[in-house]
Amino acid sequence: MKKKFYILSIIALVSIIESCSPVNNYYILGKKDYQSGNYPAALDKFRIAINKNPNDYRLYFSLAKAYSSMANHKKAIEAYSKAIKLNDKDSLSYLNRGIEYIFLEEYVKAESDFNNAIELDSSNYLTYFSRAYVESTRRDFKSALKDYNSSIVLNPNNEKAYVNRGNTKGELQNYPGAIEDYTKAIELNPKDSNAYLIRGFDFALLGGFDYAIEDFTKVIEIDSTNKDAYYFRGDAFRVVNKYDSALNDFSKIIELYPDESKAYFKRGMTMLDKGEKKSACPDLERAGKMGYFDAYAAIEKYCKKTNQPKFHKQIDKKHRQKSVKPPAEKAKVKK
């Protein structure tokens, strides 16, 4: 299982105080559009403000955030670069541009920006969090762990930092430490289904299948369509010989996702666990026909079929979750 690492982004407009000036008026109008989700209108207002005052880096910062909210990361980078050119001492411009580079998977540039941001301001937990994320992408988990530690010291209430640090500890095979971090994340956010899922996975790795089943059940309570939770819980039920419960989970996956060949395979194998070979073979055969070629080995062994392909390739992909783009975090620029 590839665990999901979170990214955090700043999505706050900078503070501009210019009493009754035309620039400020357009900025205020743009800010209102931005906050209401009308990003194209916000862009227009910020551009007008920039035309009237092209030397205020904060206007480019605001323009960049509007571009970012529209997922136009290249334009956001251009705007942040302009802000940095006008003021190379603003740590948040480096931080936010680095986050935009992450979205484009330009991790070397992202890390360079985070390094610059930390040199300018070593007190921002988001910068350490973001650099740790980049370090994880190049599998430098020891460096990532140090940065997640720094981020948590600066902000001990950021549950996503505990999830990511737990993932990092897991990569370093410190599963008890990982479980502690997921537990802390759950304390801070009891609705974080991902934290329950990966804690349950690590419980299972340590042989704590009852605890794992409890966590997978909690995931399903939060999200009744979570395919991974049904798979993992079904596998855990098989290990503890609760075959009927496992069958229910694999059947639920088939109900939710009828084209899920792996679910037919696992349901068939669970029937074999129960000694119900006659019921197992139709599921195994269906899994094979749907493209889950590992089923043919089971068919040959248990169902006495000899017409499987002479050559087949494992194409089953592990159920993995991609890194999710972050919920918004607010930050402000000092005047």
The domain total for the chain is 1
262 inside domain:
no
Banded model confidence at residue 4, pLDDT cuts 50, 70, 90: low
Q: What is the pLDDT of residue 326?
A: 44
Residue type, 208: G
Instruction: Tell me whether residue 110 is in a domain.
Output: yes
**Is the pLDDT reported for residue 285 higher than 80?**
yes
Is the residue at 126 inside a domain?
yes
pLDDT in tens, 172-220: 999 999 999 999 999 999 999 999 999 999 999 999 999 999 999 999 9
Classify residue 167: in a domain, yes or no.
Answer: no
The pLDDT of residue 134 is above 90: yes
- Residue at 188 is within a domain: no
For position 20, which CATH number holds?
Answer: 1.25.40.10
The pLDDT confidence band at residue 89, using thresholds 50, 70 and 90, is very high
| pTM: predicted TM-score of the whole model, two decimal places | 0.82
> Does 300 fall in a domain?
no
Residue among 98, 143, 99, 91 at smallest CA distance from 119: 91
Question: CA 55 to CA 25: how far, in whole Å?
Answer: 17
Structural domain of 95: 11-155
**In the predicted model, is pLDDT for residue 225 greater than 70?**
yes
pLDDT tier at 6 (50, 70, 90 boundaries)? Answer: low
What's the rounded mean pLDDT across residues 67-77?
Answer: 96
Lowest mean pLDDT among 24-28, 165-169, 289-293, 324-328: 324-328
For residue 315, name the pLDDT band (cuts at 50, 70, 90). very low
Q: Cα separation of 126 and 135, whole Å? A: 14
- Percent over 90 (pLDDT), the chain: 82
Q: What per-residue confidence (pLDDT) applies to 241?
A: 97
Please report whether residue 136 resides in a domain.
Answer: yes
8 Å CB contact between 135 and 161: no
pLDDT at position 335 is: 37
Q: Length of the chain in residues, anyone? A: 335
Q: Answer yes or no: is 119 within a domain.
A: yes
Q: What per-residue confidence (pLDDT) applies to 16? A: 38
Calculate mean pLDDT across residues 13-20: 38
